[in-house]
Amino acid sequence: MSGPHARPPVEVVTFGCRLNAVESEAVRRSAEAAGCENTIVFNTCAVTEEAVRQARQAIRRAARETPDARIVVTGCAAQIDPASFAQMPEVAAVIGNADKAKPDVWRTARFHDGARVNDIFALPETAHHFVAGAVDSIEGHTRAFVEVQNGCDHRCTFCIIPYGRGPSRSAPAGDVVAQIRKLVANGYREAVLTGVDMTSWGHDLPGQPTLGRLVKQILKLVPELDRLRLSSIDCIEADDDLVEAFATEQRLMPHLHLSLQAGDDMILKRMKRRHSRDDAIRFCAMLRSVRPDIVFGADLIAGFPTESEEMFAGTLALADECGLTHLHVFPFSPRPGTPAARMPQTAREVVKDRARRLREKGAQRLRLHLEAQQGRILEVLTERGGIARARDFTMVKVGDVAPGQLRSAKIVSQERERLIGMLDIA
Ligand code: SF4
């Protein structure tokens, strides 16, 4: 079917993290390069049971709405439990995370022939879509996500991700720099480094360079890049070069999302995390002392097994003690196959109640931050939908302007989770 409502030959429905967003672009291009048509790909997430349920629901809906389309499932949920998707009558094929961006796999994939998912732990090489050099733009995105690392060698007791993503592996610095140059040449003003466990970048490369070294190299070798942002990191593994880059490099955005998970040492121990609550507080204070405009976000889990009310109070207090602004709150969700799923569970209503209180804490912290911005003039990067992002990642409503512009905005008010700004007002 041609004309304005014609569906693209390959449609990719993305769930989960930024890594999946950038990989979906490589998946779409690889499937198109292989000549796939009338195909809908679900790039799934497995971080919670709810994410998997939503993918199944979306697959069923797509099959109802486009009965002639070929449905292919990939991503972490497919990698971890391929048979459960292969058994769905709606599904034509299941492709593992290791193969989803390889045109050859799409060219040779046999449909309606069950799941063909390789052992993710047998993966030596780096981010293969670099090899394809496919991703020089990301549809619908103003900020360019750049995959620098994949997989994870840690085994936090609540987490299923390593079973979907495999061992930690790094994209060589030269490939990352080349990728960012391509994206900047295509008009991107901001690059966001992304991975699963980004602070382990370089561990598998000659000389074991650090993430901080990579950041400095990118800023030195791509002077035309206006903004470099990091997605989520593990504070206890931040290296000295990274701290120094935050202290000295204005093009490195003053925003860091931390994988903190809880604010009680016994719970952190039972999660097999590598930091204590004091480590987190010290890290935030230290980084704030060298970069006063920095804003922190954090992932926090509510209702981890064995968590008492007193332990939870430690997590609530951590938001204030670290001065967190953007909270991502996860009600604990037992993932089959993880040690935490076998621990004595916290009652569901308690989990939900604690998640609600943590979100309220998050809203209160964000409100404080938004109030402190009133009357200021902020540099913003415009996006679609009338919004823009400040350097510290705060959302600013600026009205309908073309995306991808660096502009100044005078902050005149706030609403819900964002500021209201007037562009180019001195
Ligand atoms: S560091 Fe822990 S939480 Fe993060 S991906 Fe690895 S196992 Fe999961």
Domains along the sequence of the chain with CATH: 10-118 (3.40.50.12160), 128-371 (3.80.30.20), 377-423 (2.40.50.140)
CA distance 79 to 81: 6
> Binning pLDDT at 50, 70 and 90, where does residue 102 land?
confident
> Which residues line ligand 1 at a C-beta cut-off of 6 Å?
152, 154-156, 159, 161-162, 196-197, 259
Q: What is the pLDDT of residues 238-278, one digit of tens each?
A: 999 999 999 999 999 999 999 999 999 999 999 999 999 99
Q: What is the pLDDT of residue 115?
A: 60
CA of 152, closest atom in ligand 1: 6
Q: What is the pLDDT of residue 425?
A: 75
What is the best residue among 18, 152, 199, 338 to mutate for testing ligand 1's pocket, by most ligand atoms within 8 Å of CB?
152
Strand partners, 411: 421
β-strand 227-230 against 232-233: which pairing, if any? unpaired
Is the pLDDT reported for residue 352 higher than 80? yes
Q: What is the pLDDT of residue 122?
A: 79
Is the pLDDT reported for residue 1 higher than 80? no
Residue in 240, 228, 243 with CA at minimum distance from that of residue 193: 228
Q: From the CA of 197, how far away is ligand 1's center (Å)?
A: 7
Residues 6+ apart with CB under 8 A from 58: 13, 42
Structural tokens at position 30 = 């690889």
Q: What is the pLDDT of residue 124?
A: 60
Q: What is the pLDDT of residue 146?
A: 94
Q: Percent of the chain beyond pLDDT 90?
A: 84
Helix axes 277-290, 309-321, angle to 10 degrees: 10
First to last CA, the chain: 51
Please compute the mean of the pLDDT values over residues 364-391 and round it to a whole number.
96
Q: What is the pLDDT of residue 2?
A: 55
Q: What is the pLDDT of residue 104?
A: 87
Q: What is the pLDDT of residue 133?
A: 54
Q: Which of 127-131, 283-287, 399-403 has the lowest mean pLDDT?
A: 127-131
Q: What is the pLDDT of residue 112?
A: 53
What is the best residue among 197, 258, 301 to mutate for testing ligand 1's pocket, by most ligand atoms within 8 Å of CB?
197
CA of 234, closest atom in ligand 1: 1
Q: What is the pLDDT of residue 114?
A: 55
Q: What is the pLDDT of residues 184-223, one digit of tens each?
A: 999 999 999 999 999 999 999 999 999 999 999 999 999 9
The more confident residue out of 104 and 351 is 351
Find the Cα–Cα–Cα–Cα dihedral 263, 264, 267, 272, rounded to 10°. 70
Q: What is the pTM of this model?
A: 0.92
